[in-house]
C-alpha cells in the first residue's frame, strides 16, 4: 500500500517533468537546478509522509516558537 | 524581467480582497468568540490596524525601491546573505500558509458537500486550476478576479440582507461586558489574515502608476474589515452564544434563512460562490510563491516552477495537521503571531533599515541615494 502510494507520487513527478521538459531543457542551469531541487524535495517529503504519517512538521516548529507568546497574552 | 503585464489599482484591490476575507469567514468567528465572547464583532475592526500598517509599509518600500518585489529589495536593504534569508522566511511562510488555506478549503468542501470524495482529489483539482491560471500570467488572474470578486461581494451582501429578519437583538447586549481586553485578545488571530496584504508587494511592480497603489490598498483593507465585521455580527445576531461551539458559524447562520418554506438552502449557492473567492485567494498566494521563488533564485521565468511548487503545496497541506480540529486549534494558537511577525514585522524592520540607509547616504554626501528617494 505504502509502496504503491510512493509509486503514484513518482508518476506525479514524472508527469510534472513531462509537462515542463521542453521549457526546462531549453533553460539555463539555474532554472534546471531550482526545478529539480523543488521536485526532488517534494518527492522526498511525500515519500517520508507516506512512511511516517505522524512526522513532526512545520506546524510543530511554529507551535514551539509562538506558543509561549500566545500563552503570555492568554490565548490557549 | 519576463513579466511585462500591467494591472490596474482596482484589479489589485479585487485580487487582495478575497485574500483577507475568503477563509477568514470560515473559522474566524469561532476563534474570536472563544476569546471575545459577545463582543467578537469588534475584533476584526481592531485587527485591521495591522492591515493598514502593512499596506503603508509595503507601498513606502515600493516607493524607495520601485519596480521590485519584497524578495528583490530585501537583498538591497540588508545585504546579500541576510536579505536572501529574509526572502526565504517570507516565501516559506507563504508556502506554509497556502498549505493551511488549501487544507481548510478541502476540509470545508468535503465536510459540507462532497462527503465521499477523498480530500486529495478536492485539493488537487482546485490547485491544478490555480496552476493553469497563474501559468497563463498575472493579467489572466486579475481579470478572473475582476469578474468573480464583485459577484462574491454582492452575494455576501445579499445574504446578510436576507438574514436581517432572523436576527435577534438580545444576542447583541450587553456590549463590552468585560471591557476592551477580551476584544483585543480576540483580534490577535484575525490580524494574521490582515497581515496577508504583504502580497501587495508582489503586485505593486505591475501597476502603471505609483501614487494610486497605496489608496487602493487602504480601500481594500477597509472593505475587508467591513466584510468581516458584518459576517461576524450577523453570525452573532442569529446564533448568539452558540457561535463558539460551531466549526463554520457563518454557514450555519445562512442555513437558518427560510422564507415561506420554499426560499431556503441558501448555503449551496453561497458555498459555490465562496469557492470562487477561495480560488482567487489560493491563486494569489500561489502566484506570489512562484514569482518570489523565481526571483530568489534569479530566474527570469517562474512558469517552470509552478508545478513543482504545487506538489510541495499539496504535501504541506497534509503535513500541517492530521485533522480539521487540530488545524483549527493550530491556527488559533499560532496564526496571529506567526503571520503578523513574518508578514508585518519583517517589512517594518526592512523599512526602518532602508530609512537609516537613506539618512546615512545623504549624510556622507552620496547624493545618489538621496536623489532616488525623491
> What pLDDT, on a 0 to 100 scale, did the predictor assign at position B289?
93
What is the total count of domains within chain A? 1
3-state helix, strand, coil in chain B (%, to 5): 80, 0, 20
Give the structural domain span for A56: 2-72
- Taking the C-alpha atoms of residue B165 and residue B326, their distance in angstroms, rounded to an integer, is 35
Residues in A closer than 8 angstroms to B292, CB to CB, are none
- Taking the C-alpha atoms of residue B247 and residue B39, their distance in angstroms, rounded to an integer, is 19
Of A34, A42, A45, the CB nearest to B297: A34
Taken in order of first residue, the domains within chain B and their CATH numbers are: 22-373 (1.20.1740.10)
> What pLDDT, on a 0 to 100 scale, did the predictor assign at position A29?
83
Residues in A lying within 8 Å of B, measured between beta carbons: 12-13, 16, 19-20, 23-24, 27-28, 30-31, 33-35, 38-39, 41-43, 45-46, 49, 53-55, 57-59, 62-63, 65-67, 69-70, 73-76
Of A57, A74, A75, the CB nearest to B320: A57
Residues in A closer than 8 angstroms to B304, CB to CB, are 20, 23-24, 27, 31, 35
Q: Closest-CA residue in chain B for A40?
A: B308
Sort residue B298 into left (φ over 0), alpha (ψ -120 to 50) or beta: left
> What pLDDT, on a 0 to 100 scale, did the predictor assign at position B310?
92
Tell which residue, B217, B162, B194, B270, has the closest CA to residue B15. B217
Residues in B lying within 8 Å of A, measured between beta carbons: 35, 92, 96, 185, 188-189, 293-294, 297-299, 301, 303-305, 307-309, 311-312, 315-316, 318-322, 330, 332-334, 336-338, 341
Tell me whether residues B332 and A42 touch, CB distance under 8 A.
no
Task: Please check whether residue B116 is in contact with residue B256, taking contact to mean a CB–CB distance below 8 angstroms.
Answer: no
- Taking the C-alpha atoms of residue B30 and residue B37, their distance in angstroms, rounded to an integer, is 10
> What pLDDT, on a 0 to 100 scale, did the predictor assign at position B162?
85
Residues in B closer than 8 angstroms to A21, CB to CB, are none
> What pLDDT, on a 0 to 100 scale, did the predictor assign at position B124?
92
Of B318, B334, B337, the CB nearest to A49: B318
Spell out the per-residue pLDDT of chain B, length 374, in tens. 445 678 888 888 898 999 988 888 888 888 888 888 788 888 888 888 998 999 999 888 888 888 888 888 888 888 889 999 999 999 999 999 999 999 999 999 998 888 898 999 999 999 999 999 999 988 899 999 999 999 888 888 888 888 888 888 887 777 777 778 888 888 888 888 899 889 988 888 888 865 668 888 899 999 999 988 888 888 888 888 777 778 888 888 888 887 877 777 777 888 888 899 999 999 999 999 999 999 998 888 888 889 999 999 999 998 888 888 888 888 888 888 888 888 888 899 999 998 898 888 877 755 444 444 43
Tell me whether residues B312 and A38 touch, CB distance under 8 A.
yes
**pLDDT (tens digit, 9 = 90+) per residue, A5-48?**
889 889 988 998 888 888 888 877 888 888 889 999 999 998 88
- Taking the C-alpha atoms of residue A43 and residue A31, their distance in angstroms, rounded to an integer, is 18
Q: Is B23 exposed, middle or buried (0-12, 13-18, 19+ CB in 10 A)?
A: buried
- Output the furthest CA–CA distance in chain B (Å, rounded): 77
Q: Closest-CA residue in chain A for B337?
A: A66
> What pLDDT, on a 0 to 100 scale, did the predictor assign at position B367?
47
- Taking the C-alpha atoms of residue B330 and residue B27, their distance in angstroms, rounded to an integer, is 12
- Taking the C-alpha atoms of residue A39 and residue B197, their distance in angstroms, rounded to an integer, is 29
Amino acid at each position: 500500500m505504502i509502496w504503491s502510494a510512493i509509486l503514484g507520487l513518482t508518476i506525479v513527478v514524472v508527469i510534472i517533468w513531462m509537462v515542463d521538459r521542453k521549457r526546462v531543457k531549453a533553460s539555463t542551469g539555474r532554472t534546471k537546478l531550482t526545478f529539480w531541487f523543488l521536485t526532488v524535495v517534494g518527492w522526498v517529503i511525500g515519500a517520508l509522509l507516506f512512511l511516517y504519517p505522524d512526522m513532526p512538521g512545520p506546524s510543530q516548529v511554529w507551535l514551539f516558537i509562538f506558543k509561549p507568546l500566545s500563552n503570555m497574552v492568554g490565548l490557549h | 524581467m519576463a513579466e511585462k503585464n500591467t494591472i490596474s489599482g482596482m484589479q489589485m484591490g479585487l485580487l487582495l480582497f478575497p485574500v483577507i476575507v475568503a477563509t477568514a469567514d470560515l473559522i474566524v468567528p469561532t476563534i474570536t468568540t472563544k476569546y471575545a465572547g459577545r463582543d467578537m464583532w469588534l475584533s476584526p475592526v481592531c485587527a485591521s490596524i495591522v492591515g493598514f500598517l502593512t499596506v503603508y509599509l509595503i507601498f513606502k518600500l515600493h516607493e524607495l525601491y520601485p519596480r521590485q518585489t519584497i524578495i528583490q529589495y530585501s537583498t538591497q536593504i540588508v545585504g546579500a546573505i541576510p536579505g536572501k534569508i529574509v526572502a526565504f522566511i517570507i516565501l516559506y511562510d507563504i508556502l506554509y500558509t497556502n498549505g493551511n488555506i488549501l487544507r481548510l478549503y478541502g476540509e470545508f468542501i468535503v465536510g459540507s458537500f462532497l462527503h465521499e470524495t477523498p480530500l486529495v482529489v478536492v485539493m488537487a483539482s482546485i490547485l491544478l486550476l490555480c496552476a493553469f491560471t497563474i501559468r497563463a500570467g498575472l493579467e489572466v488572474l486579475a481579470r478572473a478576479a475582476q469578474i468573480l470578486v464583485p459577484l462574491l461581494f454582492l452575494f455576501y451582501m445579499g445574504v446578510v440582507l436576507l438574514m436581517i429578519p432572523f436576527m435577534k437583538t438580545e444576542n447583541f447586549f450587553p456590549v463590552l461586558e468585560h471591557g476592551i481586553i477580551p476584544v483585543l485578545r480576540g483580534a490577535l488571530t484575525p490580524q494574521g489574515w490582515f497581515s496577508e496584504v504583504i502580497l501587495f508587494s508582489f503586485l505593486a511592480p505591475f501597476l502603471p502608476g505609483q501614487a494610486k497603489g497605496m489608496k487602493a490598498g487602504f480601500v481594500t483593507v477597509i472593505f475587508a474589515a467591513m466584510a468581516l465585521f458584518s459576517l461576524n455580527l450577523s453570525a452573532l445576531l442569529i446564533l448568539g452564544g452558540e457561535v463558539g461551539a460551531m466549526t463554520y458559524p457563518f454557514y450555519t447562520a445562512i442555513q437558518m434563512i427560510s422564507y415561506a418554506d420554499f426560499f431556503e438552502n441558501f448555503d449551496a449557492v453561497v458555498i459555490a460562490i465562496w469557492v470562487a473567492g477561495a480560488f482567487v485567494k489560493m491563486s494569489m498566494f500561489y502566484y506570489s510563491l512562484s514569482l518570489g521563488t523565481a526571483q530568489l533564485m534569479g530566474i527570469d521565468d517562474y512558469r517552470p516552477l509552478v508545478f513543482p511548487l504545487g506538489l510541495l503545496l499539496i504535501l504541506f497541506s497534509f503535513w500541517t495537521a492530521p485533522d480539521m480540529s487540530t488545524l483549527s486549534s493550530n491556527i488559533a494558537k499560532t496564526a496571529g503571531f506567526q503571520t503578523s511577525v513574518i508578514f508585518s514585522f519583517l517589512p517594518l524592520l526592512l523599512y526602518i533599515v532602508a530609512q537609516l540607509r537613506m539618512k546615512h547616504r545623504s549624510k556622507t554626501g552620496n547624493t545618489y541615494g538621496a536623489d532616488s528617494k525623491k
